[in-house]
Amino acid sequence: MRTNRLILTGIFLLMLIGALACRKDKNNNDDTGRISMRLTDAPADYDAVYIDIQQVEFKMRGRAAIMLTPNRPGMYNVLNFRNGTDTLLVNTTVPVGDIEQVRLILGANNYVVVDGDTYPLTTPSGQQSGVKLNLHTTIEANASYDMWIDFDAGKSVNHTGSGKYQLKPVIRAYSALTNGRIEGYVLPLSAMATVYAINGADTVSAIPAPDGHFVISGLAEGSYQLYIEPAVLTFASFSTNVNVSFGVIANVGTITLL
Protein backbone atom coordinates (compact mmCIF):
# COMPACT_ATOMS: atom_id res chain seq x y z
CA MET A 1 0.00 0.00 0.00
CA ARG A 2 2.84 2.39 0.85
CA THR A 3 4.41 1.67 -2.55
CA ASN A 4 1.10 2.45 -4.30
CA ARG A 5 0.81 5.72 -2.39
CA LEU A 6 4.33 6.69 -3.42
CA ILE A 7 3.56 5.88 -7.05
CA LEU A 8 0.33 7.90 -6.95
CA THR A 9 2.16 10.80 -5.30
CA GLY A 10 4.85 10.72 -7.99
CA ILE A 11 2.25 10.70 -10.75
CA PHE A 12 0.45 13.64 -9.14
CA LEU A 13 3.68 15.64 -8.89
CA LEU A 14 4.51 14.96 -12.53
CA MET A 15 1.02 16.07 -13.58
CA LEU A 16 1.34 19.22 -11.46
CA ILE A 17 4.75 20.08 -12.95
CA GLY A 18 3.37 19.53 -16.45
CA ALA A 19 0.38 21.74 -15.78
CA LEU A 20 2.58 24.54 -14.42
CA ALA A 21 4.89 24.28 -17.41
CA CYS A 22 1.94 24.51 -19.82
CA ARG A 23 0.58 27.48 -17.89
CA LYS A 24 3.98 29.18 -18.02
CA ASP A 25 4.24 28.62 -21.79
CA LYS A 26 0.72 29.94 -22.28
CA ASN A 27 1.50 33.06 -20.29
CA ASN A 28 4.65 33.64 -22.32
CA ASN A 29 2.67 33.44 -25.56
CA ASP A 30 0.04 35.77 -24.18
CA ASP A 31 2.69 38.38 -23.38
CA THR A 32 3.93 38.87 -26.96
CA GLY A 33 2.77 39.94 -30.40
CA ARG A 34 4.40 39.39 -33.79
CA ILE A 35 5.83 42.15 -35.98
CA SER A 36 6.74 41.92 -39.65
CA MET A 37 8.61 45.05 -40.73
CA ARG A 38 9.36 45.67 -44.41
CA LEU A 39 11.43 48.19 -46.36
CA THR A 40 9.97 50.05 -49.34
CA ASP A 41 10.99 53.17 -51.27
CA ALA A 42 9.86 56.33 -53.00
CA PRO A 43 11.56 56.99 -56.39
CA ALA A 44 14.78 58.82 -57.15
CA ASP A 45 16.75 59.73 -60.26
CA TYR A 46 19.79 57.55 -59.49
CA ASP A 47 21.09 54.23 -60.79
CA ALA A 48 21.14 52.77 -57.26
CA VAL A 49 21.07 53.88 -53.62
CA TYR A 50 22.62 51.37 -51.21
CA ILE A 51 21.82 51.69 -47.50
CA ASP A 52 23.74 49.61 -44.95
CA ILE A 53 21.14 48.51 -42.36
CA GLN A 54 22.75 46.68 -39.43
CA GLN A 55 20.10 46.71 -36.69
CA VAL A 56 16.53 47.77 -35.94
CA GLU A 57 15.64 49.08 -32.49
CA PHE A 58 12.15 49.31 -31.00
CA LYS A 59 11.65 51.72 -28.11
CA MET A 60 8.65 50.75 -25.99
CA ARG A 61 6.99 52.74 -23.23
CA GLY A 62 8.09 51.56 -19.78
CA ARG A 63 10.43 48.88 -21.16
CA ALA A 64 14.05 48.56 -22.16
CA ALA A 65 14.73 49.10 -25.86
CA ILE A 66 14.58 45.97 -28.04
CA MET A 67 17.49 45.59 -30.46
CA LEU A 68 16.94 43.29 -33.45
CA THR A 69 19.20 42.13 -36.27
CA PRO A 70 17.58 42.19 -39.72
CA ASN A 71 16.98 38.91 -41.51
CA ARG A 72 19.74 40.01 -43.88
CA PRO A 73 21.93 42.68 -42.26
CA GLY A 74 23.91 44.73 -44.74
CA MET A 75 23.34 46.74 -47.89
CA TYR A 76 19.95 47.22 -49.55
CA ASN A 77 19.47 48.95 -52.89
CA VAL A 78 16.30 50.78 -51.90
CA LEU A 79 15.47 51.58 -55.53
CA ASN A 80 14.59 47.90 -55.98
CA PHE A 81 11.53 48.33 -53.75
CA ARG A 82 9.06 50.63 -55.49
CA ASN A 83 5.40 50.65 -56.57
CA GLY A 84 4.20 48.25 -53.92
CA THR A 85 7.34 46.10 -53.86
CA ASP A 86 9.09 45.64 -50.51
CA THR A 87 11.55 43.40 -48.68
CA LEU A 88 11.34 41.86 -45.21
CA LEU A 89 13.65 43.40 -42.60
CA VAL A 90 12.52 41.67 -39.40
CA ASN A 91 9.85 39.14 -38.48
CA THR A 92 9.80 38.48 -34.75
CA THR A 93 7.84 38.60 -31.51
CA VAL A 94 8.00 41.55 -29.13
CA PRO A 95 6.46 42.12 -25.68
CA VAL A 96 2.99 43.61 -25.48
CA GLY A 97 2.93 47.35 -24.95
CA ASP A 98 3.25 50.67 -26.77
CA ILE A 99 5.92 51.16 -29.42
CA GLU A 100 6.91 54.83 -29.43
CA GLN A 101 9.87 54.90 -31.78
CA VAL A 102 11.83 52.81 -34.26
CA ARG A 103 15.53 53.40 -34.88
CA LEU A 104 17.55 52.14 -37.84
CA ILE A 105 21.21 51.55 -37.03
CA LEU A 106 23.22 52.11 -40.21
CA GLY A 107 26.68 50.83 -41.05
CA ALA A 108 29.38 52.72 -42.94
CA ASN A 109 28.85 51.19 -46.41
CA ASN A 110 26.27 53.61 -47.82
CA TYR A 111 26.71 54.79 -51.39
CA VAL A 112 24.92 56.10 -54.46
CA VAL A 113 25.44 55.22 -58.13
CA VAL A 114 25.00 58.13 -60.58
CA ASP A 115 25.42 57.60 -64.33
CA GLY A 116 27.44 54.47 -63.65
CA ASP A 117 29.81 56.11 -61.14
CA THR A 118 29.81 55.18 -57.45
CA TYR A 119 30.01 57.82 -54.69
CA PRO A 120 30.10 57.25 -50.91
CA LEU A 121 27.26 58.70 -48.86
CA THR A 122 28.50 60.57 -45.82
CA THR A 123 26.19 60.77 -42.80
CA PRO A 124 25.77 63.92 -40.65
CA SER A 125 27.15 63.49 -37.12
CA GLY A 126 23.69 63.99 -35.63
CA GLN A 127 22.43 60.83 -37.32
CA GLN A 128 25.41 58.55 -36.76
CA SER A 129 23.64 57.07 -33.72
CA GLY A 130 20.77 55.92 -35.93
CA VAL A 131 17.78 57.14 -37.91
CA LYS A 132 14.83 57.70 -35.57
CA LEU A 133 11.22 57.21 -36.67
CA ASN A 134 8.14 57.96 -34.62
CA LEU A 135 5.73 55.04 -34.85
CA HIS A 136 2.97 54.88 -32.24
CA THR A 137 1.55 51.35 -32.24
CA THR A 138 0.11 49.25 -29.42
CA ILE A 139 1.16 45.59 -29.48
CA GLU A 140 -1.52 43.29 -28.13
CA ALA A 141 -1.16 39.67 -27.05
CA ASN A 142 -1.12 37.03 -29.81
CA ALA A 143 -1.75 39.65 -32.53
CA SER A 144 0.27 40.14 -35.74
CA TYR A 145 1.30 43.52 -37.14
CA ASP A 146 2.56 44.47 -40.61
CA MET A 147 4.70 47.61 -40.73
CA TRP A 148 6.64 49.41 -43.43
CA ILE A 149 9.64 51.74 -43.47
CA ASP A 150 9.30 53.97 -46.53
CA PHE A 151 12.69 55.37 -47.54
CA ASP A 152 12.44 58.45 -49.78
CA ALA A 153 15.69 58.17 -51.75
CA GLY A 154 15.05 61.33 -53.76
CA LYS A 155 14.85 63.48 -50.62
CA SER A 156 17.43 61.53 -48.60
CA VAL A 157 20.43 61.87 -50.92
CA ASN A 158 21.83 65.39 -51.24
CA HIS A 159 24.46 66.39 -53.79
CA THR A 160 26.79 68.77 -51.96
CA GLY A 161 28.97 69.47 -55.00
CA SER A 162 32.37 68.31 -56.29
CA GLY A 163 31.18 64.74 -56.61
CA LYS A 164 30.18 64.49 -52.95
CA TYR A 165 26.86 63.17 -51.70
CA GLN A 166 25.35 63.25 -48.22
CA LEU A 167 22.81 60.87 -46.70
CA LYS A 168 20.13 62.65 -44.64
CA PRO A 169 17.41 59.99 -44.48
CA VAL A 170 13.82 61.08 -45.02
CA ILE A 171 11.75 58.09 -43.94
CA ARG A 172 8.12 57.44 -43.10
CA ALA A 173 6.91 54.54 -40.97
CA TYR A 174 3.39 53.19 -41.16
CA SER A 175 1.41 50.05 -40.38
CA ALA A 176 -1.32 48.11 -42.14
CA LEU A 177 -3.82 50.02 -40.01
CA THR A 178 -2.51 53.40 -41.19
CA ASN A 179 -1.79 52.60 -44.84
CA GLY A 180 -3.80 54.69 -47.28
CA ARG A 181 -2.98 53.82 -50.91
CA ILE A 182 -3.52 55.21 -54.40
CA GLU A 183 -2.77 53.09 -57.43
CA GLY A 184 -3.35 53.13 -61.17
CA TYR A 185 -1.65 53.25 -64.56
CA VAL A 186 -0.15 56.17 -66.48
CA LEU A 187 0.21 55.96 -70.26
CA PRO A 188 1.88 56.39 -72.67
CA LEU A 189 5.20 55.20 -71.30
CA SER A 190 7.02 57.61 -73.61
CA ALA A 191 5.73 60.52 -71.46
CA MET A 192 8.18 59.45 -68.68
CA ALA A 193 5.79 60.76 -66.04
CA THR A 194 6.12 61.21 -62.29
CA VAL A 195 3.03 60.88 -60.08
CA TYR A 196 2.51 63.06 -56.99
CA ALA A 197 -0.03 62.73 -54.17
CA ILE A 198 -0.34 66.17 -52.53
CA ASN A 199 -2.12 66.98 -49.27
CA GLY A 200 -1.19 70.45 -48.00
CA ALA A 201 2.56 70.48 -47.34
CA ASP A 202 2.80 66.68 -47.59
CA THR A 203 3.85 65.37 -51.01
CA VAL A 204 4.58 61.73 -51.84
CA SER A 205 5.73 60.69 -55.31
CA ALA A 206 6.00 57.60 -57.48
CA ILE A 207 7.59 56.75 -60.82
CA PRO A 208 5.45 54.29 -62.80
CA ALA A 209 6.85 50.84 -63.52
CA PRO A 210 7.75 49.79 -67.11
CA ASP A 211 4.10 48.81 -67.69
CA GLY A 212 2.82 52.18 -66.39
CA HIS A 213 1.62 50.85 -63.02
CA PHE A 214 2.15 52.96 -59.88
CA VAL A 215 1.34 52.64 -56.19
CA ILE A 216 1.66 55.35 -53.54
CA SER A 217 1.43 53.87 -50.02
CA GLY A 218 1.50 55.06 -46.43
CA LEU A 219 -0.87 57.98 -46.97
CA ALA A 220 -2.91 59.46 -44.15
CA GLU A 221 -6.66 59.62 -44.62
CA GLY A 222 -7.87 62.69 -46.47
CA SER A 223 -8.32 64.34 -49.84
CA TYR A 224 -5.30 64.41 -52.16
CA GLN A 225 -4.48 66.15 -55.38
CA LEU A 226 -3.11 63.51 -57.73
CA TYR A 227 -0.78 65.38 -60.04
CA ILE A 228 0.97 63.71 -62.97
CA GLU A 229 3.90 65.54 -64.50
CA PRO A 230 5.40 64.27 -67.78
CA ALA A 231 9.13 64.71 -68.40
CA VAL A 232 8.45 64.98 -72.13
CA LEU A 233 6.99 68.44 -72.64
CA THR A 234 4.91 67.50 -75.70
CA PHE A 235 2.50 65.85 -73.23
CA ALA A 236 0.22 67.84 -70.93
CA SER A 237 0.17 67.38 -67.17
CA PHE A 238 -2.87 65.89 -65.45
CA SER A 239 -4.55 66.59 -62.10
CA THR A 240 -7.50 65.12 -60.21
CA ASN A 241 -8.71 64.84 -56.61
CA VAL A 242 -8.65 61.47 -54.83
CA ASN A 243 -10.11 60.59 -51.43
CA VAL A 244 -7.94 58.23 -49.36
CA SER A 245 -9.23 55.98 -46.57
CA PHE A 246 -7.42 53.36 -44.52
CA GLY A 247 -8.06 49.79 -45.60
CA VAL A 248 -9.26 50.81 -49.08
CA ILE A 249 -7.12 51.11 -52.22
CA ALA A 250 -8.09 54.23 -54.18
CA ASN A 251 -7.76 52.89 -57.73
CA VAL A 252 -7.76 55.66 -60.35
CA GLY A 253 -7.64 53.25 -63.29
CA THR A 254 -5.64 54.13 -66.40
CA ILE A 255 -4.78 57.78 -67.01
CA THR A 256 -3.68 58.61 -70.55
CA LEU A 257 -1.69 61.79 -71.01
CA LEU A 258 -2.41 63.77 -74.16
pLDDT in tens, 47-59: 999 999 999 999 9
Going by C-alpha positions, the residue among 166, 171, 52 that lies closest to residue 108 is: 52
Question: How many whole angstroms separate alpha carbon 67 and alpha carbon 74?
Answer: 16
Where does 61-213 have alpha helices with state H?
A: 153-156
Q: Under DSSP, is residue 132 helix (H, G, I), strand (E, B) or coil? A: strand
Which of 39-43, 95-99, 196-200, 235-239 is the least confident region? 39-43
Where are the domains positioned within the chain? 28-178, 179-258
Predicted TM-score of the model (pTM): 0.76
Q: Of residues 26 and 238, which shows the higher confidence score?
A: 238
Which residues make Cβ contacts (< 8 Å) with residue 211, sequence separation at least 6?
185, 189
Percent of the chain with pLDDT over 70: 86
Give CATH for domain 179-258.
2.60.40.1120
Q: What is the mean pLDDT of residues 206-219?
A: 92
Q: What is the mean pLDDT of residues 212-220?
A: 93
Which of 49-63, 66-80, 127-141 is the least confident region? 127-141
Q: What is the mean pLDDT of the chain?
A: 86
Does pLDDT of 2 surpass 70? no
- What pLDDT score does 124 carry? 75
C-alpha dihedral (78, 79, 85, 89), degrees to nearest 10:
-10
CB distance 255 to 184 below 8 Å: yes
Phi, psi of 12 (to 5 degrees): -60, -40
Each residue's pLDDT tens digit, 139-197: 999 999 999 998 888 889 999 888 899 998 888 888 888 899 999 999 999 999 999 99
Q: What is the mean pLDDT of residues 59-69?
A: 91
